[in-house]
Amino acid sequence: MKLKKQVTVCGAAIFCVAVFSLYLMLDRVQHDPTRHQSGGNFPRSQISVLQNRIEQLEQLLEENHEIISHIKDSVLELTAHAEGQPALPHHTPNGSWVLPPESRPSFLSVSPQDCQFALGGKGQSPDLQMLAVYSLLPFDNQDGGVWKQGFDITYEPNEWDTDPLQVFVVPHSHNDPGWIKTFDKYYYDQTQHILNSMVLKMQEDPRRRFIWSEISFFSKWWDNISAQKRAAVRRLIGNGQLEMVTGGWVMPDEANSHYFAMIDQLIEGHQWLEKNIGVTPRSGWAVDPFGHSSTMPYLLKRSNLTGMLIQRVHYAIKKHFAATQNLEFMWRQTWDPDASTDIFCHMMPFYSYDVPHTCGPDPKICCQFDFKRLPGGRINCPWKVPPRAITDANVAERAQLLLDQYRKKSKLYRSKVLLVPLGDDFRYDKPQEWDAQFLNYQRIFDFLNSRTNLHVQAQFGTLSDYFDALYKKVGIVPGMKPPGFPVLSGDFFSYADREDHYWTGYYTSRPFYKSLDRVLEAHLRYPLSDYALLSNARRNLGLFQHHDAITGTAKEAVAVDYGVRLLHSLTNLKHIIINAAHYLVLGDKDAYRHDPSAPFLDTDDMRPSQDSLPERTVVKLDTLPRFLVVFNPLEQERLSIVLVLVDSPHVCVLSEEGQPLPSQLSAQWGSATDMVPNVYQVSILARLPALGLRVLQLHKSFNSHATLKSSVRLYLHGRDLPVRKQEAVPVHVFPATTDDFCLENQHLQACFSGHSGLLQSIRRAGEEREQRVSSEFLVYGTRTSKDKSGAYLFLPDGEAKPYAPKDPPVVRVTEGPLFSEVASYYQHIQTVVRLYNVPGVEGLSLDMSCLVDIRDHINKELALRFSTDIESDDTFFTDLNGFQIQPRRYQRKLPLQANFYPMPTMAYIQDMQSRLTLHTAQALGVSSLGSGQLEVILDRRLMQDDNRGLGQGLKDNKRTCNRFRLLLERRATANKSSSFFSKLASVFKALGFPGTRTGSPEVQDSRPISFPSLLSHITSMHLNAEALVMPVAQEKPPALRSFMPLSTTFPCDFHILNLRMLQAEQDDSLPSAEAALILHRKGFDCSLEAKNLGFNCTTSQGKLALGGLFQGLELGSLQPTSLTLMYPLGTASNSTNIHLDPMEIATFRIRLG
């Protein structure tokens, strides 16, 4: 009774606080200075403000009502728990399972200030919004003459008389860290020769310039050259002849890569440059990624770069921007209210970054100035007019011809400064090419510069030479907005280089490796003990972000090389995590002994080879208890189902303190109808500490009341298949069924087709109406014409056709206290939809997996489509790099394949009532081809090359497991139409005042913007950062203790993106005493209902006290820096309190004591 009184008093106190806070909010709204009107006049803008205030007040009332109801529930639950209610799941009379109440209250309260950000409305609209540009353009692909995808360019000869044309020719060599050859083969065959020649040839003439971007290659070369050569490189950089552009480990793909890995490879490159050469990159260079994400300008801006260049953009957009002189612009983030994310961006105007498409609009002429193609060489000009060496006799005519191209190209830009790249893939690998290009061009420059009547100044330059000259010409300092230049927001997907050839296939190509990439990332977020192995893992992950690696567009042997590197690093990281966990869970740290030959902990799973799916470790039970150490890689505590395989059905799970934990015993299935003998799944409900380690015990027990068995129904649909059962798990076999059936937990009911076993509908608890969410598998073919789908291109032969396997599926329904699931076994797909019977995040969405094997398909692509009655019209939303959401529109004027977009972590559709989000654990291509639809490409098998240089199809498919979460949310405003405040708002609308937007509100705006809910963010984190289960190998271990590193709860909207040890000054195999802490404050949408979320965190208006965050560790120093730690931001202070605005990523150099 004493506990009951304490709980009631506590609940009453919180209730009083909530009521008082509501009073203060009402008081604040009433005394808001913006409300005071002048006289009796109600301007339209102030009515709009008043209406917004009313809606905010309504939301505040709703939130406070929810908080109070949560408190009541929590008090009742605690009271019930204190009165001895059962602590384990139990059956109710209607046959469903009921979980015990939580042992502590858990409710979410979001400050109203934290909800303002997602409403947008601040700041000016950009001049160019890419969603609007797409709606505007006809995409008619008219023949433009010599510039086939453009138009005829004319100029007046005297245009430069008062303001001469400044031309910067920028020599470059694009080195792919793996594509046709592996990274190492390219290095030994070509790259080392390019860089060796560069040192030699650049010293011959101080007017020569060169740029380099891929630090993965550069660092390998650096390790193999003499001190003398290193000194020469430093001199070339110091005198401005050689520039490091972007400075990342690779030039990353921008479609499939996750922002964690994009930042990590950028840090890896920048830290290498700083430690070895003392260089800080100033300009970004991305000539080859297949479409461009708006995440990249944000990362470059926050790394203190002031300019950037992009190339692969849809040819119709290039033409439109060229015609309007908008090829250079300030690129701004969609959410940015004050231009703090602006970065100057140069878009190349023509088809390619090779020499024929960079000097001007006519490739036939430009090719004549690629002096590697001089007669007698290995390559020539396809236009049949070869280059001619420049002599005194022909220099006047040759220079005039080239100048004409320069002038025409400059007419597409706003300034009289012109950028002319000079290079191609793996160029300048022989001394003869250096001589041919540099000597011939220098003769042309000398001629042009000596003729004052031509009004041109031409020279070799670096990328930053060009940007500096441009800034000087328009009279600004780097980083500022040039007067008269436009502001753009949005992204540049999807890319087409000609006709209807959309590069949307690579969003899914080789999904096995896209999945392995994300698994490696989840193991790499925290500082661990072995710095050399950790550094190697970062570099292998960084290498895989290359735009021919994660894209799935390299040769088969190269894909294997990437896979071997990823697996090698994953295996190493698992061992490092094991060693760290071993030390941290020991009650007596002095007892720690590291023995590599006999690890203290086993890994959670293992992969026999680089193309294998993981195989879970089986724990062998005996008379002595076995211990598990479970690592939660998230900064939030989580209540999760922990899965472990054991060799006996007689098992009992206890906490560290010896209390029984709820667990569910299931069979381990080897196929649709075969249970694996002597292997069982135990699913344990466990609360895992944030970033911590939880110790659990497994006992062999023959009478455990806490371990409850699953029941299984197996529907064979008329197929004569033998069923191998295990006595411990009851199975009921049914020859056929046509009846639909449902599974439910306390949050959801999911209904399935009896025949197909596929999802049909979802109903949320407390709602009468079902939401149709039917799933089906579809197949795309490819064209019969010469142009067919390949690794890059998606060229379907029309709309998708239903997947038609030769046999009906075997459907297996498993029900139990902690989860229930439906598994459907088709010829090429095994799909499992699981519903967790868990309070909070895990139980609010459907867990889905699709095990795909299409190795017997020929020119087919397998898709999964969800069809709903959500009235999404032509609008859907996809994420960019797991960092931000980009609204999309289905464009009927474009071919089907043009409407697919990358989906690294999520996509959703919505209307005024609902939002359906598909979360993914691997990057795949996604679209919404009709209202209420969401469709994802699971795998693609293509027998031919698509003529983009690879020379292969996609025939090395693997058995691939694609993992998803399906989350249905309701808008909090959807059910409030009868409320007083809504009626008041509707009165204002009836008077003709502007109101809230309908349909998909974010897209009607001139600043299209959308955010996931907090629940959606955390669901994505749960999916992408699974708990790691490590069995203790020893049978009689010393005393173990759970490890909880955080002393306070992290705010819900803060994410520790990385906590990364930094390299020691002298030795790159050793860490320094400092670490980089990278935090991201997520933007989120408050308008989706937030009931029973089970969070124990809240939001804090962006404030975070880092001082006492880590238990037992003092924060010795805290220095805010640029994103990649190259520049300190302000001075290091003793204060450890920080503030972050929504969506911002911030890096801190910290010293932990």
Token output for 219: 């660092």
Q: Rounding to the nearest 10 degrees, give the CA dihedral for residues 185, 191, 196, 200.
A: 150
Query: For residues 621 and 603, what is the distance between their CA atoms, to the nearest angstrom?
Result: 17
Active-site residue, from 288, 465, 561, 611: 288
Q: Burial letters for 242-259: b for 16+ Cβ neighbours within 10 Å, e otherwise?
A: bbbbbbbbbbbbbbbbbb
**Three-state secondary structure along 998-1046?**
CCCHHHHCCCCCCCCCHHHHHHHHHHHCCCEEEEECCCCCCCECCECCE
Q: Which amino acid is at 408?
A: K
Helices and strands (DSSP H and E) totals, the chain? 21, 50
Give yes or no: 288 in active site.
yes
The H or E element containing residue 886 is strand 884-889
**Main-chain phi, psi angles of 684, to 5 degrees:** -115, 130
Stretch (H or E) spanning 441? helix 431-450
Please write down the HEC assignment for all residues of 378-396.
Answer: CCCCCCCCCCCCCCCCCHH
One-letter amino acid at 1110 equals F
Output the DSSP codes for 374-437: STTSS---TTS-------TTTHHHHHHHHHHHHHHHHTTSSSSEEEEEEEEET---SHHHHHHH
Nearest to 684 by CA among 709, 712, 707: 707
C-alpha span between 344 and 305 (Å, rounded): 9
Between the two ends of the chain, the Cα-to-Cα distance in Å is 45
Q: What backbone torsions phi and psi does residue 181 show, to the nearest 5 degrees?
A: -115, 165
Which residue from 245, 273, 280, 216 is spatially nearest to 1063, judged by alpha carbons? 273
Three-state DSSP class for residue 778: strand
Residue in 601, 551, 593 with CA at minimum distance from that of residue 575 = 601
Residue in the block written with tokens 């197929």: 719
Residue 346 CA to residue 168 CA, distance in Å, equals 14
CB-count burial class (<10 Å; 0-12, 13-18, 19+) for 451: middle
What DSSP character marks residue 832? E
Q: Which two three-digit tokens encode residue 865?
A: 């489509």
Q: Which residues contact 1105 (CB under 8 A, 6 or more apart)?
A: 1048, 1136, 1137
Positive or negative: CA dihedral 92, 96, 100, 102 = negative
Q: Taking a C-beta distance cutoff of 8 angstroms, is the pair 932, 789 a contact? A: no
- For 908, phi then psi, to 5°, come to -145, 160
CA dist., res. 443 & res. 432, Å (int): 17
| Burial class (CB within 10 angstroms; exposed 0-12, middle 13-18, buried 19+) of 1084 | buried
Backbone angles phi, psi at 568, to 5 degrees: -55, -45
| Torsions phi, psi for 653 (to 5 deg) | -110, 130
Question: Residue written as tokens 């950089």?
Answer: 237
Q: How far apart are CA 1060 and CA 1079, in angstroms?
A: 11
Catalytic residues: 288
